[in-house]
Structure formats: structure tokens, C-alpha cells
């Protein structure tokens, strides 16, 4: 079995005139949400074997603020193809992952992450799937399980949504 966790970066500052989108940092809410999602992941035993992060400042900061919750920090790789990625670009990245990686955390951006999640999920809690279909908010986390033993076998509509949590439910997620 393979587990894919998709984490959209936390809330970022608005673009400054003439500024680069890639350089946008997290805003106050984003800096508060990122550590909470890290603590949630640890509390619910959502431990990645590998983390792949977009090179955008807001994605890197999201992981930097979430990672202190982990006692054992998983290996982390920055991947340029995650920035402004289409679902097909993201699938290409995923299919190249080593079979030794059982649980993967991908930290990136919309619309690519949202479209990828919708493309991959075929089953799971109906209410969670409906919420995910409607929106993939900043600091949102989707956990998708696949019934195969190699990332190279990844295909559309093969996943089961195990859980989907967004920033509104982060503070309430104490179970």
C-alpha cells in the first residue's frame, strides 16, 4: 500500500506590485496554521517517509513551521516542478518516487494540488470527498491511500480519501 499526503501551503501574503509570486511569505494566519497542521499529523501518526516541497517561499516556510512537531524529521527534497504544476506534472513527479517510500508528503500549490486530488480519488468518506471537491484551502491536508506497491503504478481514480482536513477544522481536531 502507498499513502500520499497532499498539503497546500499555509496562507501567504498578497503579492506586492512588482514582486515575484515565488517569493511570497506566509502571513500571520499562515504562520499560526502551519505548526498546527504539523502537530495534527504527528498526533494522528501521519509520518511521511519523504517530503517533497515546492521551492516557493510560502511552501518551504509551511514545512519549516510544521516540522518541529516531528521527533524524527523525514528526508526533505525541494522540487522545482511542484511550482505552478499541472496535475500531469505532479503525477510525473510521483511516478518517479522510489518504491521504498511508502508514505509521501507533497507540499505545493493550487490549482495543481486540488486538481490532482480530485483526479486520484475514487473512494472514501463521501462528506470529505465533497468538501475536497469544492475547495482545497491553504493549510489543507488530504490523505490518500492506494492499493499498490510502487508509485510507478499510480493512475487516476485509484485512491481512497482517508481524510481531508482544512484550517477551519485544525483547531477543533483534538481527537
> What pLDDT, on the 0 to 100 scale, is given for residue 102?
97
Confidence of residue 13 (pLDDT cuts 50, 70, 90): confident
174 has pLDDT over 90? no
Whether the ω angle into residue 147 lies within 30 degrees of 0, i.e. cis, is no
- pLDDT the model gives residue 170: 67
Q: What is the pLDDT of residues 89-125, one digit of tens each?
A: 999 999 999 999 999 999 999 999 999 999 999 999 8
Which of 145, 135, 144 has its CA nearest to residue 166? Answer: 135
Name the domain count of the chain: 1
42 domain-assigned: yes
Tell me, yes or no, whether 105 lies in a domain.
yes
Strand, helix or coil for residue 123: strand
Closest CA to 167 of 139, 133, 127, 136: 139
Say yes or no to pLDDT of 168 above 80: no
| Domain that includes residue 116, residue range | 2-11+23-170
Tell me if 27 sits within 8 A of 65, measured CB to CB: no
CATH number for the domain that contains residue 133: 3.40.50.1240
- Indicate whether 17 belongs to any domain: no
Residue 175 maps to a domain = no
Report pTM.
0.93
Predicted confidence (pLDDT) at residue 173 exceeds the cutoff of 80: no
What is the average per-residue pLDDT within 152-167?
Answer: 93
Asked whether residue 98 is domain-assigned, the answer is: yes
Amino acid at each position: 500500500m502507498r499513502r500520499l499526503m497532499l498539503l497546500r501551503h499555509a496562507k501567504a501574503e498578497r503579492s506586492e506590485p512588482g514582486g515575484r509570486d515565488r517569493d511570497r511569505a506566509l502571513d500571520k494566519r499562515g504562520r499560526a496554521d502551519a505548526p498546527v497542521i504539523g502537530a495534527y499529523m504527528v498526533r494522528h501518526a501521519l509520518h511521511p517517509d519523504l517530503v517533497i516541497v515546492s521551492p516557493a517561499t510560502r511552501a518551504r516556510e509551511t514545512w519549516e513551521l510544521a516540522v518541529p512537531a516531528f521527533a524524527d524529521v523525514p528526508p526533505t527534497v525541494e522540487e522545482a516542478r511542484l511550482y505552478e504544476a499541472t496535475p500531469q506534472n505532479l503525477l510525473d513527479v510521483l511516478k518517479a518516487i522510489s518504491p521504498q517510500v511508502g508514505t509521501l508528503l507533497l507540499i505545493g500549490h493550487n490549482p495543481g494540488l486540488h486538481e490532482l486530488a480530485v483526479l486520484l480519488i475514487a473512494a472514501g468518506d463521501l462528506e470529505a470527498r465533497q468538501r475536497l471537491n469544492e475547495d482545497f484551502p491553504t493549510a489543507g491536508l488530504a490523505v490518500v491511500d492506494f492499493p499498490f506497491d510502487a508509485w510507478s503504478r499510480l493512475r487516476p481514480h485509484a485512491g481512497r480519501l482517508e481524510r481531508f482536513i482544512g484550517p477551519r477544522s485544525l483547531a477543533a481536531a483534538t481527537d
